[in-house]
């Protein structure tokens, strides 16, 4: 992935290669305590001897007291006032491009798309997580967006990492080169492993991995016999944007069978994981999965005569929205917390982790691109932009995304002032808009016959999409010779 930052001192580009409650309203909600079985007689009351996550730094920072400017200085970001609107930041970015030597409307440095990536948003999201789920350590799902700056920030904040392949392990080793740290702060959470990846993981320093079927246990016995195994159970993900239980997860009966086989093979079972599906919209999916995980803990204690010590809540955590902030996440967190405390008490010795991806990355990215061609037909208006489904808009296909596309006129962009409110031009009656990507593929369509953007835009006008950091650029390509958007890093600091 090609990235770009601006050196704020030299002003030059440097290449590096649905809830209705607001957060405030949620503070007044009284959550009903979930009725659960009393399992005090079999809950482990002291940490298990084999526990490996004991020394993991859990949010080892004080958000209010930390020197945020000094923290982000090490990443070479440009500091932006926190109250500056996205439109004004975009205008500033274009002015910076011109100062760096670009001139004229047709230069690639002006036309090509770029991302504005706010690293301070990563910090804010982690802080909100810390406030709402202080017992749960986030292991960032790097498949969501493997941005190396994300990994560096999260590492310094004491987070762990969820990886699914050899290459992702190698990415994490760049920020966790010490094998002891890698063992504590990384989980190989793909429950179906290619043999070559298992062999690599077994010598990489990673110790935790998941499995969801009997065949994987025999594979681990042969190629990674000392792995710390976490059984991944199936969940109800019918209310999630992307459903995973059709592909991954063991039914409870299979999970119990796996415990028996783990005993027979002499493998090391340490915990249970689940994943309610990406973009989960139903907290009941979490509640049921937590109860099911407790059942596997109980069966493991009975069969293995030892205490399991790791509960992995997986992914599915909603990202921040412009309208409701983190209300969706906060609602889930405050609903599941009493159940976690009931079934896995603080003194139980059970470590709890989760695998947020979208929650961390979603609100960090704003994509900025421009219209480079336009056709006005009898029944519709066609725009062509320097992005598409082969690039960041692959999320339309793979993530079922419905991004809100906003615009800035070229005249407004080069004027002395930028208005935060949209100024409407006279349109072409009621003609719908079709928005095409830059490639030669006729299926490279972002919007078709839509009235969600004006039909009066012109070549040179800018389109931008906020909240665009999750499952976008991570799966993008350079098909047809159109490269992925470059990246400009900022931090919003008061």
Question: Which residues are known catalytic residues?
Answer: 440
Tokens of 318: 């909603």
pLDDT on residue 269: 98
Q: Which residues of 334-349 are buried (b: 16+ CB within 10 A; e: fewer)?
A: bbbbebbebbbeeebb
Q: Which residue(s) pair with 187 in the sheet?
A: 162, 208
Residue indicated by tokens 């509960």: 311
Domains of the chain: 4-11+70-117+364-492 (2.40.37.10), 29-66+118-362 (3.20.20.10)
This prediction has a pTM of: 0.84
Q: What is the pLDDT along the chain (494 residues), one digit of tens a residue?
A: 333 333 333 333 323 233 344 444 433 332 332 333 233 333 343 333 343 443 334 445 666 778 889 999 999 899 999 999 999 999 988 877 655 544 444 344 667 899 999 999 999 999 999 999 999 999 999 999 999 999 999 999 999 999 999 999 999 999 999 999 999 999 999 999 999 999 999 999 999 999 999 999 999 999 999 999 999 998 876 655 555 666 778 999 999 999 999 999 999 999 999 998 755 567 888 899 999 999 999 999 999 999 999 999 998 898 888 777 787 899 999 999 999 999 999 999 999 999 999 999 999 999 999 999 999 999 999 999 999 999 999 999 988 889 999 999 988 887 776 665 545 565 666 899 999 999 999 999 999 999 999 999 999 999 999 999 999 999 999 999 999 999 999 999 87
CA distance 142 to 153: 13
pLDDT on residue 491: 96
pLDDT on residue 39: 35
Q: Is 226 exposed, middle or buried (0-12, 13-18, 19+ CB in 10 A)?
A: exposed
pLDDT on residue 204: 95
pLDDT on residue 336: 95
pLDDT on residue 237: 65
Model pLDDT for residues 4-38, shown as the tens digit of each residue = 333 333 333 323 233 344 444 433 332 332 333 23
pLDDT on residue 93: 87
CA 60 to chain centre: 21
Q: Residues 4, 488: contact at Cβ < 8 Å?
A: yes
């Amino acid at each position: 992935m090609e990235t770009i930052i601006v050196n704020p001192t030299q002003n030059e580009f440097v290449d590096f290669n649905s809830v209705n409650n607001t957060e405030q309203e949620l503070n007044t909600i009284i959550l009903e305590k979930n009725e659960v079985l009393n399992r005090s007689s079999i809950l482990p009351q002291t940490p298990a001897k084999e526990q490996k996550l004991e020394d993991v730094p859990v949010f080892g920072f004080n958000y209010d007291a930390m020197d945020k400017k000094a923290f982000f200085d090490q990443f070479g970001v440009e500091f932006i006032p926190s109250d500056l609107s996205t439109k004004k930041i975009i205008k500033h970015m274009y002015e910076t491009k011109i100062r760096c030597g670009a001139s004229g409307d047709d230069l690639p440095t002006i036309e090509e798309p770029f991302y504005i990536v706010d690293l301070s948003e990563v910090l804010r999201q982690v802080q909100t997580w810390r406030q709402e789920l202080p017992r749960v350590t986030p292991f960032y799902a790097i498949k969501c967006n493997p941005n190396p700056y994300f990994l560096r920030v999260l590492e310094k904040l004491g987070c762990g990492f969820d990886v699914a392949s050899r290459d992702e392990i190698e990415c994490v080793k760049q920020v966790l080169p010490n094998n002891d740290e890698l063992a504590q702060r990384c989980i190989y959470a793909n429950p179906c492993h290619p043999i070559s990846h298992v062999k690599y993981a077994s010598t990489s320093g990673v110790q935790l991995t998941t499995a969801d079927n009997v065949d994987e246990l025999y594979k681990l016995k042969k190629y990674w016999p000392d792995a710390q195994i976490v059984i991944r159970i199936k969940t109800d993900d019918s209310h999630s944007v992307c459903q995973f239980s059709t592909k991954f997860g063991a039914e409870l009966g299979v999970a119990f069978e796996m415990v028996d086989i783990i005993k027979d093979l002499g493998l090391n079972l340490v915990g249970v994981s689940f994943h309610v599906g990406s973009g989960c919209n139903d907290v009941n999916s979490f509640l049921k999965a937590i109860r099911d995980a407790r059942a596997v803990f109980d069966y493991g204690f009975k069969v293995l005569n030892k205490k399991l010590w790791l509960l992995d809540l997986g992914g599915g955590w909603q990202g921040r929205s412009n309208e409701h902030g983190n209300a969706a996440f906060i609602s889930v967190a405050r609903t599941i917390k009493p159940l976690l405390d009931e079934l896995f008490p603080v003194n139980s010795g059970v470590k709890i982790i989760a695998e947020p991806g979208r929650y961390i990355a979603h609100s960090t990215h704003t994509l900025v691109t421009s219209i480079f061609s336009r056709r006005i037909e009898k029944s519709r208006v066609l725009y062509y932009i320097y992005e598409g489904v082969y690039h960041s808009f692959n999320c339309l296909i793979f993530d079922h995304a419905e991004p809100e596309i906003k615009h800035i006129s070229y005249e407004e962009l080069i004027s002395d002032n930028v208005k935060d409110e949209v100024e409407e031009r006279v349109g072409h009656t009621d003609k719908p808009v079709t928005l095409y990507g830059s490639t030669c593929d006729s299926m490279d369509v972002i919007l078709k016959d839509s009235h969600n953007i004006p039909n009066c835009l012109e070549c040179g006008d800018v389109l931008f999409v906020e909240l665009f950091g999750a499952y976008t650029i991570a799966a993008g390509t350079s098909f047809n010779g159109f490269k992925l958007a470059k990246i400009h890093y900022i931090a919003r600091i008061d």
